[in-house]
Structure 1
Amino acid sequence: MTKVSDVVVDALVQAGAKRCYGIVGDTINHFTDSVRKSDLAWVHVRHEEVGGLAAGGEAFLTGELAVCAGTCGPGTLHFVNGIFESHRNGAPVVLIATDVARTEAGLGFPQELNQRKIYEQCSVFCEYISHPDQARRIVVQAAQAALTKGGVAVVIVNGDMFEETTKDALPWSVHRPKSRLRPADDELDALAERLNAAGTVTLYAGIGARDAKPQLLALAKKLCAPIAHTSRSKEFIEPGNDHNIGMIGILGNKAGVEAVDAADIMLCLGTDFAYTQFYPGQDKIVQVDRDPSHIGRRAPVGMGLVGDVGPTIEALLGRLDQKTDTTHLDKSRKQWAKDLEGYKHEAEESDASLIHPQFVTHALDRLAADDAIFTADGGSPMVWLLRHLTAKGDRRFLTSLLHGTMANAYPQAMGAMAAYPGRQVISMSGDGGMTMLMGDLLTLKQEKLPIKILIYNNGSLGFVEMEQRVEGLLDTYTNLENPDFSKVAIACGLKGWRVDNANDLENAMAEWLAAEGPAVLDVRVSSVELVMPPKVEVGQVASTTLFGVKAVLDGRLREVVSLLRDNFLR
């Protein structure tokens, strides 16, 4: 007979899991004792939300299973935001969520809660182990769902269940089928007819095209089509791709937006881009996605096909005529070059005492390794990553684009560092995000995770300020009184640097990147940066002008002048 806790841990290891993130205690003590005796490493975080984010970072970047485990009540509840973020990223994570002993269940015992109601909204699988003989079977089902459906699977276990024993007689194991899905022949014929008749085509590639870059490039060459991409697709679309023209959306660039507007057909491949206002009219849109429920979910489409991007393109190419007119592609490339020059101009430093975040990010782009892994907090750091870092070599990028949480960057970097100990892992953290989960700086020292944390210290919730100003409001309740983060880092046993003058940035950044062990670079950046969309609407200008009038009346003339100089007159 075998203890249920030993069965659960062994099933996770057999499914490929290497690490479990969490905090020990009461209802998982028998589980963690089984972890201690196994090949599953325990990563002792200081806050469970960090554990959920770190597990998701590891799982997203590796494509393999990561695990986190929480005690009953508050312990498991603390995971919720990290689990939502990881699930929306499609990261294969198993959460072992524990509850009070079965003798107390349903009686309002302290820390009891209904785990299923909480987690079934952010999981691909959510089930109790109701009998010891189910232990391996339920865990295997959870792991298989996480790996094949892409998302979080939750196994709920009453604390006393771990102490039970089972024969563990049946050899349940995870299966990873590799299907190739493509549309029917008549659908492909109809699509080819539309594409052959179209004068101009723009391809729009999303995360569903990540394993189909060769096919995507072949299609672009066949159609003389530019390739715009979603923000999540940056790392694999941009490198070595002369058809790339950047992104669309609020964080995108002019070339991508104009290429979509000018196209007779926008062919969406593996993307479920959420912002309807950036799509063209219905007749222009053709969507290919492996999930039928995603077809036409964001905007009405003229044609929708169900299939994986790679196999669909392979079956389509032989049906297409070779286009020869490169006018549309050439125009898009020319605008993309102008967009890149504009980003470079944004990074130019005019005042050593006023450090622009774009300037900092361009320095990071130059000095970081070609195989560095970057994470960025939701908000302004996410924008600087997407616009000002170059996708080259084997660089990887991860930020909170679907869930949009703060404080994701350095926890996700922890998971990346655990999975890739030989790589340079860099967290681009906002000061708001850093202070939200700052306690796990101690984990970096204790777990020997040598990530490098760059803090964009602007003394404010900068992205929120931008939102308020664009709506014509005075920025309110966004001010942050921060410590010297380099000194906080040193107090936690890390190395730390502080930069207040642009002339000191290059040397400090080089030393920070070269430092052994975890290190923090605290850079005091301008607090009056606006994230400008690729196409500025009249209403946005009017609202920002209204903010300026209100700010002047509120005695903030100097700030308004700085805002105009740094964002509109540069």
Structure 2
Amino acid sequence: MSETATLSPAAPQQAPVNAGQPKPGTQRTVAQFVLEQLRLWNVERIYGVIGDANLSLLDELGKQNDIRYIPCRHEGGAALMASAEAKLTGRLAVCLATSGPGIANLLNGLADAAMDRSPVLALAGQVETSKYGTHSKQYIDQQKLSAAVSDRSELLAHPDALPQLMEQLLVHSLTQGQVTLLSIPKDLYAGQVRGEPAPCGSHLYQPLYASDTETEELVQLIEAAQRPVLLIGRGSASVREQVKTVAEKLNAAVVTTLPARPLFPNDHVLYAGGLGQAGSEASSVLLSEADLIVMLGATWWPDDYVPMQARIVQIDQNREAIGIGHPLHKGIVGDLSQFVPKLSDRLAAAASKDRSPWLARVKETTAGWKRRIEAEASSDGTPIPPQRIMKLIAEHASEDAVLAVDTGDLTLWFNRIFQAKPSQEILVSGRWRTLGFALPAAIAAQLAYPNRQVIAIAGDGGAVQTIMEFQTAVEQQLPIVWIVCNNGAYAMEKHWMEAAGMNKLGSEIRNPDFALLAQACGGAGTKAATAAEFAQQLQQALASRKPTLIEATTACIPVPHTKI
């Protein structure tokens, strides 16, 4: 007789421990939550333009004092300000626009941030949820629109999704140096959010360590080199003193990207100048003769001015940037603030190699270059030679000035002639190279560092792009000095067309009276026709601590090596 198993009654099912429990947290509206989340992440400003899809957020901004709202004249200017602030401070910056044309106008400034890996969060109002995907006025799929410049873009579909969405976007922007976008339908701003804002965790700032093995392998490469060159970019700002020590230990020539010019003493015998057409011939010569090039926090590699075949080592905390656009012998992923001091200590303990022939070559090459640019910068005449303008700016800029440089032939003249001081900072539209960058960048710099001298330098073609933001500077009582080099042309394009034998259609422009426009905006505006007038007006403007535009009549001459 077979036995039949006896089944015991099923055990009762246990519900998840948090089932049915309300999410903890103070009740906040979407608008209130956004601002509290940004406050916890130490956001100090939001740059934006008003529109019907962001009125609720502006209403909440007006009720608090932790985050300052900067009302701009154009969304493109607002995004450029956010991009410049992120470049200058390394912190997350925020810009704001409404739906449709508002978000579309942001794109140019967001592209600048994206190309230069600057952490920017864009907040965009959107049409009501009931009109999403319809032919409603000012509706566009913002996620598709921004896809080329935003690394991550999200649409808020429900208030309860906001805590997770915002944290993900903020973390991504800050850790990856990327642009992110959050679209908020205007009917959701008043919705109640369940959940608490997330603090900015200290783990987000933990440095990325390279192993001791990597350090030792690089030391061996360096010790074997007879003709080393250091190419430094803005990523090496935190280790400028150690870089100088390494260069002197190795007798290495030093070349900088434009934003990194202040990171190495420009009067040092090892300093060869900038890189590319905007840099120096000396840097190209020494790079072509080097047997080892060590790139520290730099990614700029202009093909016409660098060796085709070279032993190159690149150190960067962004692994994606290593080896892009140039040959690579060895790549090392690591935070330069951790890696370079170890490298410096290790090299200091090693026996010195005799590189006196290379040192003599570096001195000869750099000295010859410096004599040449000094002669160029001393030239005079009417209109004022651009080289002379750059020399006078260098002479009058303070030790810790921030210089915002626009795009165009003036960028090349600046990098060719300007001799930077160690505590200065240079802001440029690096890879996007948009016209109109200088003025919004200067506004952001003065807001971030109210006690520092801020000088914007633009050509006439760039000035007209964002000129109404000068009224923003006046409204915010910012003592920036904006130098507009007026040569009556899109000079870079004009000279390219001339070099190629083209018709110069569109390259010559009829300009407004820039000085009068500055005065109409409520600031000071002056005109300089000679170098003496320019020097006097610049000195007076810097001393006045008032928003001032100096229109300098500038000679339209081609930069050496100009070709299309």
Normalised by the length of structure 2, the TM-score is: 0.89
Q: Return the alpha-carbon distance in structure 1 between the equivalents of residues 267 and 192 of structure 2.
A: 55
Does residue 303 of the first structure (1) align with residue 330 of the second (2)?
yes
CA displacement, residues 457-511 of structure 1 (integer Å, 9 cap, x when unaligned) = 0000011112223334343311111122111211221111111233422222222
Does residue 428 of the first structure (1) align with residue 454 of the second (2)?
no
AA at the equivalent of 2:509: L
Q: Is the 8 A contact 2:282 2:365 kept in 1?
A: yes
Q: 1:444 aligns with which of 465, 473, 481?
A: 473
Which residue number in structure 1 is paired with residue 193 of structure 2?
A: 166
Q: 2:300 aligns with which of 254, 270, 273?
A: 273
Does residue 16 of the first structure (1) align with residue 42 of the second (2)?
yes
Does residue 257 of the first structure (1) align with residue 287 of the second (2)?
no
Which residue number in structure 1 is paired with residue 373 of structure 2?
A: 343
Which residue number in structure 1 is paired with residue 24 of structure 2?
A: none
The residue matched to 1:120 in structure 2 has which SS?
coil
Q: Return the alpha-carbon distance in structure 2 between the equivalents of residues 532 and 407 of structure 1.
A: 24
The residue matched to 1:78 in structure 2 has which SS?
helix
Which residue number in structure 1 is paired with residue 20 of structure 2?
A: none
Q: Return the alpha-carbon distance in structure 2 between the equivalents of residues 497 and 64 of structure 1.
A: 35
Which residue number in structure 1 is paired with residue 560 of structure 2?
A: 532
CA displacement, residues 344-366 of structure 1 (integer Å, 9 cap, x when unaligned) = 21122343x33111112211221
The residue matched to 1:383 in structure 2 has which SS?
helix
Does residue 357 of the first structure (1) align with residue 383 of the second (2)?
no
Does residue 399 of the first structure (1) align with residue 428 of the second (2)?
yes
Structure 2 vs 1, CA of residues 451 and 41 (structure 1 numbering), >3 Å: closer, same or farther?
A: same
Structure 2 vs 1, CA of residues 393 and 250 (structure 1 numbering), >3 Å: closer, same or farther?
A: closer
Bigger Cα displacement from structure 2, 375-384 vs 21-30: 375-384
Structure 2 vs 1, CA of residues 235 and 119 (structure 1 numbering), >3 Å: closer, same or farther?
A: farther
Which residue number in structure 2 is paired with residue 486 of structure 1?
A: 515
Q: Is the 8 A contact 2:262 2:422 kept in 1?
A: no
Q: Return the alpha-carbon distance in structure 2 between the equivalents of residues 328 and 240 of structure 1.
A: 18
Which residue number in structure 2 is paired with residue 563 of structure 1?
A: none
Structure 2 vs 1, CA of residues 221 and 32 (structure 1 numbering), >3 Å: closer, same or farther?
A: same
Structure 2 vs 1, CA of residues 293 and 167 (structure 1 numbering), >3 Å: closer, same or farther?
A: closer
Q: Structure 1 stretches of 5 or more lacking a match?
A: 544-570
Q: Return the alpha-carbon distance in structure 1 between the equivalents of residues 389 and 32 of structure 2.
A: 49
Which residue number in structure 1 is paired with residue 19 of structure 2?
A: none
Bigger Cα displacement from structure 2, 501-510 vs 401-410: 501-510
Bigger Cα displacement from structure 2, 296-305 vs 449-458: 296-305
Which residue number in structure 2 is paired with residue 557 of structure 1?
A: none
Structure 2 vs 1, CA of residues 240 and 173 (structure 1 numbering), >3 Å: closer, same or farther?
A: farther
Which residue number in structure 2 is paired with residue 555 of structure 1?
A: none
Q: Is the 8 A contact 1:484 1:498 kept in 2?
A: no
Which residue number in structure 1 is paired with residue 180 of structure 2?
A: 153
Structure 2 vs 1, CA of residues 191 and 513 (structure 1 numbering), >3 Å: closer, same or farther?
A: closer
Q: Is the 8 A contact 1:497 1:512 kept in 2?
A: no
The residue matched to 1:296 in structure 2 has which SS?
coil
Which residue number in structure 1 is paired with residue 10 of structure 2?
A: none
Does residue 29 of the first structure (1) align with residue 55 of the second (2)?
yes
TM-superposed CA distance for 1:121, in Å, is 2.7
Q: 1:332 aligns with which of 336, 353, 362?
A: 362
Which residue number in structure 1 is paired with residue 401 of structure 2?
A: 372
Which residue number in structure 2 is paired with residue 105 of structure 1?
A: 132
Q: 1:471 aligns with which of 495, 500, 508?
A: 500
AA at the equivalent of 1:192: V
Q: Return the alpha-carbon distance in structure 2 between the equivalents of residues 229 and 349 of structure 1.
A: 26
Q: Return the alpha-carbon distance in structure 1 between the equivalents of residues 475 and 167 of structure 2.
A: 31
Q: Is the 8 A contact 1:243 1:333 kept in 2?
A: yes
CA displacement, residues 365-407 of structure 1 (integer Å, 9 cap, x when unaligned) = 2122222111111012222332332221521111112111101
CA displacement, residues 224-259 of structure 1 (integer Å, 9 cap, x when unaligned) = 211112222112233685532212212121221111
CA displacement, residues 272-302 of structure 1 (integer Å, 9 cap, x when unaligned) = 2242333324452222222333332212222
Structure 2 vs 1, CA of residues 481 and 171 (structure 1 numbering), >3 Å: closer, same or farther?
A: closer
The residue matched to 2:430 in structure 1 has which SS?
coil
AA at the equivalent of 1:337: A
Q: Return the alpha-carbon distance in structure 2 between the equivalents of residues 484 and 195 of structure 1.
A: 55
The CA RMSD measured in Å over matched residues stands at 2.2
Q: Is the 8 A contact 1:124 1:149 kept in 2?
A: no
**Within-5 A mapping of 1:172-183:** 172-177=198-203, 178-183=205-210
Q: How many residues align?
A: 533
Q: Return the alpha-carbon distance in structure 1 between the equivalents of residues 197 and 458 of structure 2.
A: 45
Does residue 48 of the first structure (1) align with residue 75 of the second (2)?
yes
**Within-5 A mapping of 1:314-329:** 314-317=341-344, 318=346, 321-329=351-359
Q: Is the 8 A contact 1:431 1:460 kept in 2?
A: yes
Q: Return the alpha-carbon distance in structure 1 between the equivalents of residues 356 and 237 of structure 2.
A: 26
Q: Return the alpha-carbon distance in structure 1 between the equivalents of residues 266 and 316 of structure 2.
A: 23
Which residue number in structure 2 is paired with residue 215 of structure 1?
A: 242
Q: Is the 8 A contact 1:203 1:226 kept in 2?
A: yes
Q: Is the 8 A contact 2:226 2:358 kept in 1?
A: no
Q: Return the alpha-carbon distance in structure 1 between the equivalents of residues 221 and 49 of structure 2.
A: 56
Q: Structure 2 stretches of 5 or more lacking a match?
A: 1-26
Q: Is the 8 A contact 2:274 2:416 kept in 1?
A: no
Q: Return the alpha-carbon distance in structure 2 between the equivalents of residues 260 and 440 of structure 1.
A: 41
Which residue number in structure 2 is paired with residue 546 of structure 1?
A: none
AA at the equivalent of 2:57: F
Which residue number in structure 1 is paired with residue 14 of structure 2?
A: none
Structure 2 vs 1, CA of residues 64 and 184 (structure 1 numbering), >3 Å: closer, same or farther?
A: closer
Bigger Cα displacement from structure 2, 420-429 vs 512-521: 512-521
Structure of higher CA gyration radius: 2
Bigger Cα displacement from structure 2, 260-269 vs 214-223: 214-223
